Amino acid sequence: MTEEEMEQLVKDYHWMVNSISVIKEGMGSIGGLTAIYGTEVGASKKNGGRSDPIFREATRRERRLKKIYEFEQKIAFVQERLPLITDDREMEILHWLLEGKSLRWIGRHMKISDRHIGRIKDKVIQRLTSGDKSQMSQRS
């Protein structure tokens, strides 16, 4: 994984966690798609086809479940590398980045310039990425 990909993963972490929560919450029930009223009650319809609303809803939800799985894999990828960050300042900055905070916000919070926060962030991303390379060499 490149440093740019790792940085994007860290930037996307917060919204992926939130999306997983919202998607799982919304997967509770199909909600009203099975009710039939009026003259449609006695009419026989072919079920399971592409025009069947239950089939379409199940297909949509299956795609969303695949997205949840992808997000969970990406989140786990970042979480597995967290122990590589041992410096307290770096860990604090990574924490706030994972919470979706901007460099400017982190700088104000920590009373450090956002440019310095950016340099520390670059070191953190480098360590997270180099951890990937060292794990690859250990497996060989």
What is the per-residue pLDDT across 19-78, written as a single tens digit (0 to 9) for each? 998 888 877 654 544 444 455 545 445 555 567 888 888 888 889 889 999 999 999 999
Does any domain span residue 22? Answer: yes
- 18 pLDDT band, cuts 50/70/90, is very high
Does any domain span residue 88? Answer: yes
Q: What is the mean pLDDT of the chain?
A: 83
Domain that holds residue 56: 3-33+49-130
Long-range contacts of 32-39 (CB under 8 A, 24+ apart): 33/57
Euclidean distance between CA atoms 4 and 10, whole angstroms: 10
pLDDT of residue 131: 75
Q: What is the DSSP string of 77-89?
A: HHHHHGGG---HH
Cβ-proximal residues to 124 (8 Å cutoff; 6+ apart), any chain: 85, 90, 93, 94, 97
Does any domain span residue 98? Answer: yes
pLDDT of residue 36: 47
Does any domain span residue 139? Answer: no
**CB neighbour class for 13 (10 Å; exposed up to 12, middle 13-18, buried from 19):** buried
Does any domain span residue 10? Answer: yes
Mean pLDDT confidence for 104-123: 96
pLDDT of residue 47: 53
Alpha helices in 27-113 (DSSP H): 53-81, 88-98, 103-110
- pLDDT over 90 at 109, yes or no: yes
What total number of domains does the chain contain?
Answer: 1
Does any domain span residue 56? Answer: yes
Q: How many CB atoms lie within 10 A of CB 103?
A: 19
